[in-house]
Structure 1
Amino acid sequence: MKLLHLSAAMLSLAVSFDTVAATQPKPATDHTKQANNAVLEALPFSDKQDFENAKRGFIAKPDVVTIKDAKGNVVWDLEQYKTYISEEKSAPDTVNPSLWRNSQLVMQHGLFEVRENIYQIRSFDLSNITFIKGKTGWIVFDPLISPETAKAALDFINQQLGPRPVVAIVYSHSHIDHYGGATGLATADDVASGKVQVIAPEHFTEHAVSENVIAGNAMGRRAVYMYGALLPRNAKGGVNGGLGMTVSTGLAGLLVPSKEITKTGESVTVDGVEMVFQMTPGTEAPAEMNTWFPQFKALWMAENTTNTMHNILTLRGAQVRDALIWSSFLDETINLWGDKVEVKFQSHHWPLWESKNIVPYFKKQRDIYKFTHDQSVRLMNQGYTGEEISEMIKLPAELEQNWATRGYYGTLRHNSRAVYQRYMGWYDGNPANLNNLPPEQVAKKYMEYMGGEKAVIAKARDSFTKGEYRWVAEVMKHAVFANVNSTEAKELLADSLEQLGYQAESGPWRSVYLQGAYELRNGIPSAGGTQTATPDTIRAMTPEMLFDYLAVRLDPAKAEGKNIDINIDFTDLKQNFTLTVENAVLHHSKNQVKDPDVALVMSMKTMNRIQLKEMSFDDAIKNGDIKMAGDKALFSSFLAMLDDYNFWFNVVMP
C-alpha cells in the first residue's frame, strides 16, 4: 500500500506518443512572414550592446556541451540548438526575430569572468551557475536544476582555473532551477558536518517543497507546454525558453539550508567573502534575496532583474506575484547600492557594468512592473475586464524600445491579466459568466448554433487564409471540444496555433502554442523525465506538508459519511498527530484523540521510504518498521479514498 504518490513534472526530451504524427509542422504563412518582418522594422536591432555584454569576460567553453547521467542518459544537450541557431544566421520565417535575437544571446555559453573573483558558467542549464572565489574554495550561487549539470560546471571551472573545493552554496530563491543541482556539488553529510554551508532566504524550504507538491501534478503538466522541452529542436520547434534555452532533465536534489537569512542588511562572511543580503519576498518568488558584495562592488540580483520582462503569473501556474511590491523592492535596491555598484549579475542572462548603465537599467526594470500594475488597475477601475485590459494596455516608447523589458518570458498581455486576477479573481462581473457552461458543453452548443461542424470549419478556413489565427483558434477549440475525433478540426486548430507560435516573441508563448499543435497532431505523450517531487524534496517534507497533500487527494465520493480517527506517532521526530476524516474532509492535528480507530507508530524515515516506493505499507508492518493497532480494514479503506493523479491529462483536447 502507498500513502503518497507524488507526480513528476515530466520535461524530458525522450518521449513516446500514442499515435504517429498525422501532420508535420508547416511553414510560415505570408501573414506570419509579414508579422515577423514588422518586428524587424519596429525594434532597434542595430543596437549590439547586449552582444558585447554577453561575450565580455569570456574565458573558455567546452567543445561539446552534452551532459549525461550515470546511466548514460542525456540530461542537457546544447549541441542540438547549435545546428540551427547561431549569431551569424538571420531569423527564419518561423521564428519571431526578437525571440531569435534572445536565443542568439543565450547561446553565448561557457565560462565567463564577471569581475575579479566572480565567475559564471552560462547555458549549462536553464539558469546560470555562479562561482565566487574565496580564500580557499568556491561559494556557489544557484546550482542549476540537475546535479549532473552542476557537477559538469564545477569540473569545468576547476579544469580552467585550478581545483578548489565548494565551501558554501547560496540559494537566491525557492525555484528548482536555483537549487536542484546542489547535490552534484556537496552531500548532506558535508552540510551536517559544517564542511559546506548552505545559505538561503527565510522560509526557503517550505516554499521549495510546497510548490512541487500541493499543485505539482497540474503545474508539471502545464510546464511541459511552457518550457517546450518535448518540442523538436529545429526552427519550427523549440527555440528558447526566454530565460534560457530549456530545462535539464536530471533528478533534481535538495540540500536543506544550514542558515537562513531573515532581514535586509544581514551580513555573512564565508571564506573571506562578505555578503550583505536584501530580502525580497513576494517578488519573483515567495522566498528570494539579492546579495551585495562590498569587496567587489558587485550586486547579485537573483531573478528580480533579468534581461526580459518577467512573469507576474507563470503560464505553468503559480500564485500571482505582487507587481507593486516587486517594483518597490527594486526601488530599494537602487537606494541601497545604486551609487556604489560597478557590476550587476543574476541567475539568467548576462551581466551589466558601470553604475551609469546599471541604475537606468534598474529603473526600467522597476517601472515595467509598476507600469503593468498601475495601468492594469487604472483600467480595472474603469470597469474593464482582464481580457479587455490585455488588449488595451500599451507600453510607453521608453519601455517598448528597451531590449531588457521585452516580453521574452513574461508578457504585458498575460501579466496585465495577472494583476486583474490578483485583485478581482476569476469572475469578471458579468452575470452571464457567473455560472457559465464548461468547455465541452458550451462547444457542442456553439457548433449547433453556428451551423454544424462542416459549416464552421469552412468559415474558419476562410478566416485562416486572411491571417486571423487568434479567431480561428477560438472557433476551432469549440470544434475540437465538441468532436475530439474530428481530424479536420484538430488539424485546423493545430495550424492556427502553429502560426501564433511562429509569431510569438515570448519563449513560453511559442512553446505553449507549438506544444498544443504538437499534441493535436501526435496525441498525448505518455512518458518523460525530470521530476520536481524528487526523493530529496520528499525527505524535506514536514508531516504537516505530507498531511496537507493527502487532504487534497481525498475523494469526497468515497469519504462521504465516513468518520475515521488515525493516530500517528513519529518516533524520530518525537511528534504525534491525529488524522481525522469527517464531512468528507481530512484534517490533521497535534492534539491526539484518546480512542482512535487506528494507531500507527513509525519513524518519518519509514514514511519517506513508503512514499519513495522503497517498501510497501504491508512490508513495513511485517518487518516491524510500523507498529499498528486498531482496525486495519478501516485504514485500508482510508487509503482507498486517496486519488492518484494522471500526469498526462488532456489540455488542448477534452
Structure 2
Amino acid sequence: MKQAWMAMALPVLLAGPDVRAQDAASAATRAAQAELAERLPLDDQEDFKNAERGKLAEIAGGLITGKDGQIVWDRRAYAFLNAQKAPDTVNPSLWRQARLNAVHGLFEVVPGKIWQVRGYDISVMTIIRGKSGWIIVDPLLSEETAAAGWTLFADTVEAKSGKRPIKAVIFSHSHSDHFGGVGGIVSKEQVAREKIRIIAPHGFSEEATAENVLAGGAMGRRALYMFGAILAPGPTGQVDTGLGPKLSTGTIGYMEPTETVPPKGAKLTIDGLVFDFLDAGGTEAPSEFVFYIPAYKALHTTEVVTHNLHNILTLRGAQVRDALHWSKVIDAMLLKWGGSAEVAMASHHWPTWGAGEVSRLLANQRGAYRYVHDRTLFLANRGATLHELADQTAEAPVQAADFSTRSYYGTLNHGMKATYQRYFGWWDGNPANFNPLPPEQSALKYVALAGGAAKLLAAGEEAIASGDYRWAAELLNKLVFAEPANVAARSALASAYDQLGYQAESGAWRNYYLAAAASLRGAEIAASSSNGQSRSFVSAIPTMVFFDALATRFDAASGAGLKGVFQFLLPDSKEAVAVVVEGGVEFPRYGVTDAAPTATITITRRTLDDVMMGQTQFPALMQSGAIRIEGDRAAFLSWFALHPRADPRFNIVVP
C-alpha cells in the first residue's frame, strides 16, 4: 500500500492540452465485455449474501470527516454502483467486485464474539471479544476512518452489551493501511497507562516505517494512477481498486509494538483467548502473519488470502514478492486449520463461512499463486521471455470457477512477469534489448521509419478502429514521445487507453489506463488520495533511513569534486550519523566518525522530523539558530545545496 512520507500530495496538477473528450465503449469493448459476462457465473449471489451477512449498522452515506471538517471518506459519489448490470464502460466482473466492496457498515462475523467494520477504507478492521475487553485487528489506514468505525461499533454493540476496555491491538503486517489508523482507536498515553498490548510480526517496525521511504517519490506518483486518485468516480472513471473501494485521505499514524511474534510463529493468550500465529513474512508483505482462534473456530488470513488474486509486483512499485512461498504459506494454513476453521476472514473483503468453504477458499488460493509461479518457470525454461509469458498462458482453471482467485487487483499477466523478474531480472536475454535507446530517442526514429507523424498517427487510428488497442497504444505512445505537443496523437492514445481501461478486470489496471488517458487530455482532477503522515509515523522512521533517503537526492554530477565528512549529532535521540562525501557518492555511517569532520551539525531528531514533514527547511533552521554548525560552514552549505528536491509531479505518460 501507499505509505511513504515522501509520497507528497499533488495539490497542483500539470495542465495538458485541450483534446477530445473521453470516449464511449467501442464495439470491440462491448463485445469483449459480453464474452466475459457469458462465460462467468456473474449472477451467483453467494458472495453478495456473505458481504451482507450479519450487518448491524452503517454510517449514513458512508461519509467521514476529520476534526477540521475535511472529507476523509465519502461513498455518496459511488451511488452508480447500485445498478446491478454493468455499464459497457466497466468490465462486468470488476463491476461485480466493486459492488461487493461497496457494501459498508458494521458486521457480526461470529455472534457475540467477532465483528468487522467494512467499507470505510481500503482495508477492514476486525474487533474480537476477549475475556474482559476488546482486541482490535488492523485499525485501517487513517486515524479518522478508524475512529469513525470504532464509534459505529461502540454505538451499536457497546451500547447494548456494555462498555469494555481495549486490551490489545494486532497489526497483521507492515503496510500502513493495517496500522495507520491506530491513533484513532487508542493513544500512546492510553497504551502505557492501561498496559494495552500492541502485537505485530517480527521485523514489523523496520518494514512499516521504511519500506517505501527511499523510493517514496516515484511510488507516490505512480500510486495516484494505480488507485485512481486523479479520476472522478463514475462509470467512465474510478469504480474500485479490486482490493477495496479506494484509499482514505486522512492522517496516517504509528505506534511501536509492545511485542512481536517470532519467525516460527507462536501461541499467545490475549485477554484470555488463545491465538495461534503462523508466520507469513515474504508473501504479501515482508513482515506478516496469519492466526487462528480455536475457541471461535475463526481463521484470520490477514492479506495472504483475500477475495482476489493479489499483486506479485504492484503497479506503484515495490520489491517483487515470492509467489512460490506465498502458495506454501497458504498450504500450511490449509494443513493446519482446514476442516477446523468454520469462518475465514481477512483485512480486505468479506468473510467465508463453513468449514468446507474455508478449505476450498484456501485450496483455490494456494493453486492460483502456485500456477503463477510454476507456469512462469515452465515457459521461461523453454525460452519464453518476460513479455511472451502471459500471452502464452490461459487463466488458471480455478479462476473460471472461483471469483476469489480472479485478477481484480493483481493479475496473472503481471504476476508472471514479476516472477520472471524475480528469477531473471528485467532483461529477456536478447542482446538487442540489453541496452535499448531511451524512449524519447527511439520514438523519433520510429516516426521517421513510419514515414512521418501523419502516417504513424493514421496507423494508430486504424488499429483503434479495428479494436487492436494494445498495438494502437504501442504505436501512438511512440508518436506522443516524439511529439508531446501533438494534440491528435495524445487524443488518439487517450482513446486507446480508454478502451483498455474499460475492458480491464483489474481495478488497478483500469485506474492506471484511465488516469493515463486523463493526463493526456489534461483532465486530471485534484488528487483525492493524499494522506498526511502524523508525527508518530515520521518519528518512527529510523534515522539512518532518513539519511539514506537524503543520499539518493545527492547531485553526483555537480558534486563530483566535493570531498568531506559531515558529522550530525542528534542529542535528543542520542544518535550520531557521519556523512562521508567523495567521488560523487554520499555514504552515511551510523555513529561518530574517527576522522576529523569537515563540519559538525547539531540538530534534534524532533527538528529533523519537522524537516521530513515539510514543516521547515534547513536554510530557515540555520537562520533561526535551531541548527548549530561547527567547522567549515561554507563546505556544509555547498554540500547541502547539492540535494535538490525532486518534483513529485513528474510526467509518466509523456516525456
Following superposition of structure 1 onto structure 2, how do residues 571-650 of structure 1 map, counting pairs within 5 Å?
571-589=571-589, 590-617=591-618, 620=621, 625-650=626-651
Could you say if the C-alpha distance between residues 646 and 226 of structure 1 is closer, same or farther in structure 2, counting changes exceeding 3 Å?
A: same
Residue in 1 that maps onto 2:147: 151
Mean CA deviation greater in 273-282 or 377-386: 273-282
Confirm or deny: 8 A CA contact 1:267 1:275 kept in the other structure: yes
Could you say which residue in structure 2 is the equivalent of 1:389? 389
**Residue 44 (1) aligns with residue 34 (2):** no
One-letter identity of the residue aligned with 2:46: Q
Contact 1:524 / 1:648 at 8 angstroms: preserved in 2? no
Conserved 8 A contact 1:138-1:165: yes
The answer for the alignment partner of 2:61 in structure 1 is 64
1:169-318 matches, within 5 Å, as 169-318=169-318
Deviation (angstroms), 1:645:
1.5
Query: Which position in structure 2 is the counterpart of 1:28?
Result: 25
1:556-611 residue CA offsets vs partner (Å, 9 max, x unmatched) = 01220211111222223333332101121111222512411111233322322333
Residue type matched to 1:461 in 2?
A: E
Q: Cα distance 1:577–1:45, how it changes in 2: closer, same or farther (>3 A)?
A: closer
CA contact (8 A) 2:58 2:106 kept: yes
2:117 maps to 121
1:97 aligns with 2:98: no
Corresponding residue for 2:513?
513
Give how far 1:57 is off. Answer: 1.3
Write out per-residue CA displacement over residues 272-312 of structure 1, whole angstroms, 9 at most, x where no aligned residue.
Answer: 23222111110000001101112111111010000111110
| CA drift at 1:453 | 0.8
Shift of 1:136: 3.6
Output the CA distance in 2 between the equivalents of 1:70 and 1:251: 11
CA distance in 2, matches of 1:383, 1:534: 49
Partners in 1 of 2:524 and 2:59 — Cα distance? Answer: 36
Residue 647 of structure 1 aligns with an amino acid whose one-letter code is P
- In the other structure, the counterpart of 2:449 is 449
User: Structure 1 CA distance, aligned partners of 2:109 and 2:197?
Assistant: 23
Q: Distance in 2 between matches of 1:403 and 1:541?
A: 38
8 A Cα contact 1:578 1:593, kept in partner:
no
Distance 1:553 1:367, change over 3 A: same
Q: CA offsets, 1:345-395, max 9 Å, x none? A: 001111111221111210110111111101101111111101000111123
Q: Secondary structure at the match of 2:374?
A: helix
From the superposition, tell whether residues 213 and 532 of structure 1 become closer, same or farther in structure 2 (CA, over 3 Å): farther
Q: Distance in 1 between matches of 2:98 and 2:12?
A: 24
| DSSP-derived class of the 1:592 partner | coil
Aligned to 2:547: 547
Distance in 2 between the 1:341 and 1:472 partners?
49
Could you say if the C-alpha distance between residues 612 and 107 of structure 1 is closer, same or farther in structure 2, counting changes exceeding 3 Å?
closer
2 CA distance for matches of 1:525 and 1:204?
35
Are the structure 2 counterparts of residues 621 and 235 from structure 1 closer, same or farther at C-alpha, using a change threshold of 3 Å?
Answer: closer
**Number of the residue aligned with 1:161:** 157
- Letter of the 1:480 counterpart: V
The letter of the residue matching 2:41 is P
Measured in 2, the distance between the counterparts of 1:217 and 1:26 equals 31
Q: CA deviation at 1:615?
A: 4.6
Q: What is the letter of the counterpart of residue 550 of structure 1?
A: L
In 2: Cα distance, 1:643 partner to 1:405 partner: 44
Aligned counterparts of 2:419 and 2:252: Cα–Cα separation in 1: 32
Which residue does the alignment assign to 1:76?
A: 73
2:350 aligned with 1:350 = yes
| Change beyond 3 A, Cα 1:9–1:323 | farther
The farther-off stretch of 533-542 and 306-315 is 533-542
Measured against aligned partners, the alpha-carbon deviations of 1:161-195 in whole angstroms (never above 9, x if no partner) come to 11444332211111121111111112222234454
Compute the displacement of 1:530 (Å).
1.8
Structure 1: distance between partners of 2:391 and 2:529: 37
Structure-1 separation of matches of 2:263 and 2:607: 36
Q: Is the 8 A contact 1:609 1:615 kept in 2?
A: yes
Cα RMSD (Å): 2.0
Question: For structure 1, which runs of at least 5 residues remain unmatched after alignment?
Answer: none
Which residue number corresponds to residue 371 of structure 2? 371
Normalising by structure 2, we get a TM-score of: 0.95
CA distance, structure 1, for counterparts of residue 318 and residue 349 of structure 2: 23
Secondary structure of the equivalent of 1:556?
Answer: coil
SS of the counterpart of 1:557? coil
**Structure-1-length-normalised TM-score:** 0.95
Which of 106, 113, 138 is the matching residue for 1:142? 138
- Summarize the Cα distance change of 1:463–1:594 in structure 2 as closer, same or farther, 3 Å threshold: closer
Q: Residues of 2 paired with 1:270 and 1:20: CA distance?
A: 59
Q: 1:262, CA displacement in angstroms? A: 1.3
Q: Output the CA distance in 2 between the equivalents of 1:488 and 1:623.
A: 53
Distance 2:523 2:560 in 1: 36
Aligned pair count reads 646
Give the Å deviation of 1:619: 5.8
User: In the TM superposition, what is the alpha-carbon distance from 1:494 to its structure 2 partner?
Assistant: 0.2
Structure 1 position 534, deviation (Å): 4.8
Secondary structure of the structure 1 residue equivalent to 2:251: coil
Deviation at 1:542, TM superposition (A): 1.6
User: Displacement of 1:233 after TM fit?
Assistant: 1.3
1:6, 1:161 → 2: CA distance?
36
* Letter aligned with residue 185 of structure 1: I
Q: Which moved more, 1:587-596 or 1:89-98?
A: 587-596
After superposing the two structures, state which structure 1 stretch, 619-628 or 451-460, moved more: 619-628
Q: Could you say which residue in structure 2 is the equivalent of 1:340? A: 340
Say whether the 8 Å CA contact 1:565–1:596 is kept in structure 2: yes
Q: CA deviation at 1:524?
A: 6.3
Determine if contact 1:69/1:75 at 8 Å carries over to the other structure.
Answer: yes
Q: Give a deviation string over 1:39-69, Cα, whole Å, max 9, x none.
A: 1111122322111111111112233211111
CA shift for structure 1 position 268: 2.4
Same amino acid, percent of matched pairs: 39
Name the aligned partner's letter for residue 580 of structure 2: T
| 8 Å contact kept, 1:560–1:584 | yes
Are 2:533 and 2:613, in contact at CA under 8 Å, matched by a contact in 1? no
Unmatched tracts of structure 2, length 5 or more: none
